[in-house]
Structure 1
Amino acid sequence: METSLVLFSQLNMCESREKPFFKLIHGSAKEETSKEAKIRAKEKRNRLSLLVQKLEFHEETHPSRSGQLAQETRISPEEAMMWGESFEKLLSNKDGLRTFTRFLKTEFSEENIEFWVACEDFKKSKDPQQILLKAKAIYEKFIQSDAPQEVNLDFHTKEVITKGIIQPTLHCFDAAQSRVYQLMEQDSYTRFLKSDLYLDLVEGRPQRPTNLRRRSRSFTCNEFQDVKSNVSIWF
């Protein structure tokens, strides 16, 4: 009887020592599995991110839309040379405006031309409600501090617009538009005339691939609900 008690005690001791040991092994296995799952998930996210970047790069550097290519091939050297006569002639030409915008994208400053185009369209507005809605949208997109496409304006010009935006008129952006126009004419336009993009057109050479950043959301009338306007100049 005593022997059986001793054996039972020994078995019980072995069992109590083995349980924590198995728990430790089992817990470690779970922890390793969890780490491996996190690593695999991270690797999948990285691969997906690289794939998206490659797709965006391909989209931006290799335009495949037949319409865009057709428009570019229609630009004759004679037409391109006219753009060099004055900044006004460049902007008054639809292809010139589009080509200059493409150039500004390479300099990360397309907000300037988009603001200028938005102001040109705004001045054609006739309905008071349309004027109010479009003025507010232009202000929030290009003028106010931390605007998504804020243009470079001095404090005084911004202050005048901020005060006048409460009851906007067709001329409330005239000073800002003139300022941005001068900046583009004196700075960006000069570099544009020396760029490969322009010189290739003048000399009739095939267009070279240009690394462009992802196109920002264009300023279009889709941003104004229930607003109608002439958008033939917009692109």
Structure 2
Amino acid sequence: MKMENPLLLFPQLNISASKDKAYYKKSVIKEEPHKASKAGAKQKRNRLSLLLQKPEFHEGDPLGKAGSLTKAASSVSPEEAVKWGESFDKLLSEKAGLDAFTKFLKTEFSEENIEFWIACEDYKKSKSAHELLPKAKTIFETFIQKDAPKEVNLDFHTKEATMRSMAQPGRGTFEAAQSTVYRLMEQDSYPRFLSSAAYLRLLQRTAPARAALRRRSRSFTASDFKGARPEPALW
């Protein structure tokens, strides 16, 4: 008896084609949302970049402008660098210090913290109430909301309070979040900045002057007591 083709008797056995089709469909389904999310994140970054370039976003706030940080860290005097080590607030209050700290955070891939702090400083200086809403929305979408392109590390309660405040943004909308990020930088990133090679190089510029001063002091002490006889040792 001639055996017929089993695929003709049992067409359900022909599963190779169906598997291929199913696999193809799955791969398409998984890939499209991934592309969409990447495109969405890129679009948000582009919106933020365009907004930061607008003069009204930084109106009255020199810290908000990247171009205002014209004083390079290499031109900082040792005396200025020493002041940066006195407190974190003094570091951020000077343009050169803010610039140097921002560059340091970029080496640690955590520059979103200082960018958020700068954006909050600019936000609080808004001159009119109608400026608050678009700025608040941009800050929230860029730094606060889940999967934001530059999401900062906030605890649950602070994030929830900020989200509730977004219903009617005011100048204190981001105050709690800004304070949290400030403390994080002060306790974590700031000590590492003071120990970094770039900062230590600024301080080392004072070493030759101090060495010369010590040499002069020793010379003066030796000449001042030249010819003096030592007192007899007391036993």
TM-score bucket of the superposed structures, by smaller chain: 0.5 to 0.7
Residue matched to 1:11: none
Aligned pairs for 1:113-128 (under 5 A) are 113-128=114-129
Secondary structure (helix, strand or coil) at the match of 2:188 reads helix
1 or 2 for the larger relative contact order (CA 8 Å, sep ≥6)? Answer: 1
Residue matched to 2:172: 171
CA distance in 2, matches of 1:94, 1:68: 6
Cα contact 2:71–2:96 (8 A) shared by 1? no
Q: 1:130 to 1:69 in 2, by over 3 A?
A: closer
Cα contact 2:69–2:95 (8 A) shared by 1? no
Cα contact 2:69–2:96 (8 A) shared by 1? no
Residue matched to 2:83: 82
Task: Kindly provide the amino acid, as one letter, of the partner of residue 112 in structure 1.
Answer: N
1:108 to 2:131 alignment: no
Aligned pairs for 1:3-82 (under 5 A) are 71-82=72-83
1:200 to 2:182 alignment: no
In the alignment of these two chains, the number of paired residues is 139
Q: 1:145 to 1:114 in 2, by over 3 A?
A: same
Structure 1 residue 162 displacement after superposition? 1.0
Structure 1 residue 126 displacement after superposition? 2.1
Structure 1 residue 73 displacement after superposition? 3.0
TM-score by length of 2: 0.57
Cα contact 2:73–2:99 (8 A) shared by 1? no
Q: 1:126 to 1:69 in 2, by over 3 A?
A: closer
Task: Kindly provide the amino acid, as one letter, of the partner of residue 160 in structure 2.
Answer: E
Consecutive unaligned residues of structure 1, counting only runs of 5 or more, are 1-66, 206-235
Secondary structure (helix, strand or coil) at the match of 2:205 reads coil
Structure 1 residue 136 displacement after superposition? 0.6
Aligned pairs for 1:142-157 (under 5 A) are 142-157=143-158
Structure 1 residue 186 displacement after superposition? 0.5
TM-score by length of 1: 0.57
Percent identity over the alignment?
62
Structure 1 residue 72 displacement after superposition? 3.0
Task: Kindly provide the amino acid, as one letter, of the partner of residue 96 in structure 1.
Answer: G
Structure 1 residue 163 displacement after superposition? 1.4
Secondary structure (helix, strand or coil) at the match of 1:151 reads coil
Task: Kindly provide the amino acid, as one letter, of the partner of residue 151 in structure 1.
Answer: V
Secondary structure (helix, strand or coil) at the match of 2:72 reads helix
Cα contact 2:112–2:150 (8 A) shared by 1? yes
CA distance in 2, matches of 1:104, 1:77: 21
Structure 1 residue 201 displacement after superposition? 1.3
CA distance in 2, matches of 1:115, 1:69: 20
Secondary structure (helix, strand or coil) at the match of 2:76 reads coil
CA distance in 1, matches of 2:96, 2:193: 14
Structure 1 residue 68 displacement after superposition? 8.6
Residue matched to 2:93: 92
Secondary structure (helix, strand or coil) at the match of 1:204 reads helix
Task: Kindly provide the amino acid, as one letter, of the partner of residue 100 in structure 2.
Answer: T
Secondary structure (helix, strand or coil) at the match of 2:122 reads helix
- Deviation above 3 Å: which 4+ runs of structure 1? 67-70
Q: 1:162 to 1:82 in 2, by over 3 A?
A: same
Cα contact 2:85–2:91 (8 A) shared by 1? yes
Secondary structure (helix, strand or coil) at the match of 1:109 reads coil
